[in-house]
Structure 1
Amino acid sequence: MARDRTPHRLIAVGVTAAALAGAALAGIPAAADNRPRGHDVSSYQKHIDWSAARAKGARFVYVKATESDSYRNPRFGRHYSGSRNAGLLHGAYHFALPDTSSGTAQARHFLRHGGHWKPDGWTLPPALDVEHNPYNAEKPCYGLGRAAMVRWIRAFSDEVWRGTGRRPVIYTTTHWWNRCTGRSREFGATHPLWLASWHSSPGRLPAGWSFLSFWQCAGHGPLPGDQDRWIGSPAELKKFATG
């Protein structure tokens, strides 16, 4: 995802498995299909022309809201309202730092500062960006063991569920997830997957998931920030937002 404050950044189960079957994605180049396009942004993207983004094909966006248990994106409000005013579905994401505080504490911080969801048809479910450590390459799993990492993610998810009634979308990479959670299969049946895979197709999915909901297919492109795809129809995306 896009970096902030010299931090970092983030996609994404609400549509049928048949519609989002991972096997069906194997040969789909990002540029060749017409599924809804979107992007994700952070404070790194300072001034965004949202009307221009929509004109270029954007239909949804995820905006970084928080990181750890104290950081807040100073441009979150402007990005969040600007995207909605331009007619984009929008959602908020939290960048996890599992070595700084508990999953519960970070989820509460997220919910207080943009992470809430409402069934208005325009708000995407909250998202958790959990991936390699951008601050210490020698500790890609933040110094946590695999069981501890799974407990951290579960605690974050449970708090978001208590606060919103929805499980968070999990943004990750296949390599990081399998390495740092020990190939945990606990979350795939209940948490939408937002897969980061900057290749011509999504490739192998993390353990536990048989299909994905969002695909981050490139780190730059015609839209501000990272480039994303919803793996479904526009109607299914709207239904996903509504819950």
Structure 2
Amino acid sequence: MILNCHVHGLRRAASVAAALALALLGATAATPAQAAANPVTHPRLDWAGSQFAKHVPVHRAGTPLLISPNVSGVLGLDVSGYQGDVNWSAVAADGAQFAYVKATESTTYTNPYFSQQYEGSYDAGIIRGAYHFATPDTSSGAAQADYFVANGGGWSGDGKTLPGMLDLEWNPYGADCYGLSQSAMVDWILSFSDQYESLTGRWPVIYTATSWWSECTGDLGDFSSTNPLALADYNGSPGTMPYAWSYQTIWQYADSGTFPGDQDAFNGSYSRLQSLATG
């Protein structure tokens, strides 16, 4: 991925300024009133895509429908505490070559099955990464990036670890966009992304849906030059890209299928997947 140096410089300057301001003010989290109004009460039910089908029309021809578009190539999955222990040997035998595992949510929840899922997939020869379910109304982006990295969301250049993924979707506890304005949401995402990069040396993958991105960021922020895109769309194709990505790196194409959890496809060859892992 080729970086736009001008955009990168502006973002880095903004990140440094924001970090200095936060250090001076000691304001790395939402106020107690905000946190109390937006408790994280069912994190086990919050996973990548858990809110997608509730907000985006999905063409379903039966109940339940196993959506099976013509997807081939490098296939994978994403799981969370909802799946519990995963039989990774069986998953690998069924053809999965990569996986994302939920590690954290807000700054209060860690997936109790994370070790089994994250290390188990690695041991089965699957390239894997961790993801964070964002709650932008409970604490700052930087604070959540810190928590994520401290609880399994880091990165290493071992060739089998994907950069962490930031899960951005509709609020399961209240207002769709967590009570943030579009510009404030962009600032929150930038805060998380820049802090993650400063801690790991990698930009996080951004997981989202095109309609959420338009609604909650107003297409005000361009992350396409730094952050790979993981796109949710269960209607048979990736569909329209969010602003201003020209393609998706990962497509989450169904919420059930061959593998436990959600079904994903990497947009490229296995060697390109390895390149994403190694940086």
Q: Do they fold alike, i.e. is TM over 0.5?
A: yes
Query: Which blocks of at least 5 consecutive residues in structure 2 are unaligned?
Result: 1-41, 50-66
Distance 1:180 1:218, change over 3 A: same
Name whichever of 119-128 and 185-194 sits farther off: 185-194
Report the AA paired with residue 176 of structure 1: W
Q: Percent identity?
A: 51
Query: Which blocks of at least 5 consecutive residues in structure 1 are unaligned?
Result: 12-28
> What is the TM-score normalised by the length of structure 2?
0.77
Comparing both chains, which one has the higher relative contact order based on Cα–Cα distances under 8 Å and sequence gaps of 6 or more?
A: 1
Q: What RMSD in Å do the two structures reach over aligned CA positions?
A: 1.4
Q: Is the 8 A contact 1:92 1:115 kept in 2?
A: yes
| 1:36-115 equivalences in 2 (<5 Å) | 36-115=74-153
Q: Distance in 2 between matches of 1:31 and 1:144?
A: 35
Q: Is the 8 A contact 1:66 1:93 kept in 2?
A: yes
Q: Is the 8 A contact 2:44 2:81 kept in 1?
A: no
| 1:113-152 equivalences in 2 (<5 Å) | 113-136=151-174, 139-152=175-188
Deviation of residue 7 (structure 1)?
3.7
Deviation of residue 213 (structure 1)?
0.2
Q: Is the 8 A contact 1:184 1:208 kept in 2?
A: no
Where does structure 1 differ by over 2 angstroms across 4 or more consecutive aligned residues? 4-7, 29-34
Question: 1:40-78: CA deviations, max 9, x gaps?
Answer: 000001121101011111101000000001111111011
Question: 1:22-41: CA deviations, max 9, x gaps?
Answer: xxxxxxx9643432000000
Give the aligned partner of residue 169 of structure 1: 205
The one of 176, 192, 197 equivalent to 2:233 is 197
| 1:227 alignment partner, SS class | strand
Q: Is the 8 A contact 1:30 1:201 kept in 2?
A: no
The one of 178, 188, 199 equivalent to 2:224 is 188
Report the AA paired with residue 277 of structure 2: A
Give the aligned partner of residue 213 of structure 1: 249
| 2:272 alignment partner, SS class | helix
Q: Distance in 2 between matches of 1:184 and 1:237?
A: 29
Q: Distance in 2 between matches of 1:199 and 1:130?
A: 19
Q: Distance in 1 between matches of 2:153 and 2:72?
A: 29
| 2:265 alignment partner, SS class | strand
> What is the TM-score normalised by the length of structure 1?
0.88
Q: Is the 8 A contact 2:186 2:221 kept in 1?
A: no
Question: 1:179-217: CA deviations, max 9, x gaps?
Answer: 100113420111100000011110001011011100000
Give the structure with the higher percent helix.
Answer: 2
Q: Is the 8 A contact 1:10 1:128 kept in 2?
A: no
Q: Is the 8 A contact 1:132 1:176 kept in 2?
A: yes
Q: Which entry has the higher C-alpha Rg, 1 or 2?
A: 2
Report the AA paired with residue 132 of structure 2: H
Q: Is the 8 A contact 2:126 2:160 kept in 1?
A: yes
Report the AA paired with residue 239 of structure 1: S
Report the AA paired with residue 87 of structure 1: G
Deviation of residue 236 (structure 1)?
0.7
Report the AA paired with residue 102 of structure 1: S
Q: Distance in 1 between matches of 2:150 and 2:226?
A: 23
Q: Distance in 1 between matches of 2:71 and 2:43?
A: 34
